[in-house]
Amino acid sequence: MAGLLKALVSASEKAADIARLCRHEEPLFQLLVAEKTGADKNRRFLQDFKTLADVLIQEVIKHDLGTEFPELQGHVGGEESNEFTNAQGGTVAVRVCGTVGETAALLGSVLAPEQAAAELLAAAAHRDVVLGDAALDGVALSIPPGDLAIWIDPIDSTNEYIGGREDVAPVDGISPSGLCSALVLIGAYDRRSGCPVLGVINEPFFRRDPLTHRWQGRYHWGVAYQDTRLCSLSPPPPPRPPPRVVLSRAEGPGVRAALDPLCGGRLRFAAGAGYKMLCVILGLADAYVLSEGSTFAWDACAPHAILRALGGGTVALAEALRARRVGDTGPPPELLYNRPAEGVVGAERWANRGGLVAYVHPQHLEAVLGALVAVPGL
């Protein structure tokens, strides 16, 4: 398990480098945008973009994990199809090849005539990452990687990544939008139970170096396996009223009206499901509430594992409210990651239908559920 954790962190660091490289080459970045269509289109957005950075990052993580842990091959899933449409209208299946030169040639077929950019990306995809993290070195756990499967969101909040805004002022530490909400999310779950056990969140655009003006990142990790709880972060402070709740700006008026009095009129809003869950992990918010099924397994798995490591979790909102309405006072049902929905295709098979609540302190979860239980339609 410790080896797998280090591998996930290393993969996230390599992914962050690729994300930064693509943002740095702005003309190249504009060329790389392609619209998702068909079964892969997220119905919440009028335009939901994928980028070569998305696809390459996902394939790099799949390649690196599958190479080091062959028992994971075929059990690493993600948001993106690896097929990319190049400027000439041809379809290229993006993957990591055996050598840097072969990968550069394949990427060159997407980027032509930008061969120099293809070579930069290929070098980043093949580079070795050296971690100097004493806390990671000290992790000692035993769980067969063959018991696990992986969900990847190569760049969560892709729209914010494409927009690239750096001038969004935080509100109580929470950025309503902007490049900082673009994250790399890698989560591991138990294949049998579907329970998230390990998560890595990488922030590629955490801050700019004051001297070089280049972006610097940071990462967070958590392990929640059996009775073990380990995390790179300290637990948030004890609960204090009123709770701070973060929502999507697309959240409906009924949910807003129910939660606003609970929060003393201080609801907060942000982009990106992963970023809003990170705000809860970092103690900037006490809960993230989403009433719609517009997030997916790859959005929630990694942050859910870290929340569990801190003593919290992520519950299925609709199921939790149904249980409360019939008098069930037991633990609310948590999201699981091994159960595709029936009767749908594409990304919708892995939608978190019925919404979610992410939290650290159970008191805040109960307060949120209590405020929402009477909202019509939930």
**Mind spelling out the 3-state secondary structure of 4-36?**
HHHHHHHHHHHHHHHHHHHHHCHHHHHHHCEEC
Q: What residues contact residue 59 under an 8 Å CB cut-off, 6+ apart?
A: 82, 94, 95, 96
Q: What would the two tokens of residue 111 be?
A: 């980027």
- Residue 264, Ramachandran bin (φ over 0: left; ψ between -120 and 50: alpha; else beta): left
Q: Are strands 91-93 and 148-156 parallel, antiparallel or unpaired?
A: unpaired
CA R_g for the chain: 20
Which residues make beta-bridge pairs with 207?
216
> Does the active-site annotation cover 329?
no
Check 251, 292, 299, 334 and give the catalytic one: 299
DSSP H helical ranges for 139-287: 158-163, 253-262, 273-281
Of the candidates 297, 308, 312, the one whose C-alpha atom is nearest the C-alpha of residue 363 is: 312
**Do the Cβ atoms of 302 and 200 come closer than 8 Å?**
yes
How many C-beta neighbours within 10 Å does residue 91 have? 9
- Locate 288 and state its tokens: 């993230």
Tokens of 337: 């990651």
Q: Which residue has the tokens 């930008």?
A: 114
> Residue 139 has which token pair?
């992790």
Which residue, chain included where needed, has tokens 């005539």?
Answer: 113
Residues 199 and 280 sit within 8 Å (Cβ to Cβ)? no
Angle at 87 between CA 95 and CA 96, to 5 degrees: 10
Question: What is the pTM (predicted TM-score) of this model?
Answer: 0.93
Distance CA 213, CA 74 (A): 40
Q: Is 158 a catalytic residue?
A: yes
Q: Which of 61, 150, 152, 155 is catalytic?
A: 155
Q: Which of 51, 103, 158, 295 is catalytic?
A: 158
The question of whether 155 is a catalytic residue gets the answer yes
Residue with token string 């997916």: 296
Cβ burial 38-50 (10 Å sphere, 16+ → b, else e): eebbbeeeeebbb
* Residue 130 buriedness (CB in 10 A; 0-12 / 13-18 / 19+): exposed
CA distances from 330 to 25, 308, 320 (A): 52, 17, 10
Answer whether 307's CB lies under 8 Å from 300's CB.
Answer: no
For residues 233 and 239, is the Cβ–Cβ distance under 8 A?
no
| Residue 79 is among the residues annotated as catalytic for this protein | yes
Output the pLDDT for position 46. 30
Q: Of residues 13, 54, 190, 334, which has the active-site annotation?
A: 54
90: left (phi over 0), alpha (psi -120 to 50) or beta: beta
| Active-site residue, selected from the candidate residues 13, 17, 114, 156 | 156
Q: Could you count the other beta carbons within 10 Å of the beta carbon of residue 103? A: 26
* Amino acid letter, residue 91: T
Active-site residue, from 64, 79, 114, 251: 79
Respond yes or no: is residue 334 known to be catalytic.
Answer: no
Catalytic residue status for 147: no
Low-confidence ranges of the chain (pLDDT < 50): 34, 43-49
One of 80, 119, 153, 292 is an active-site residue; which one?
A: 153
The pLDDT of residue 87 is 66
Sequence-separated contacts (24+) of 347-350 with Cβ below 8 Å: 347/39, 347/40, 347/41, 347/42, 347/79, 347/296, 348/39, 348/43, 350/77, 350/296, 350/297, 350/298
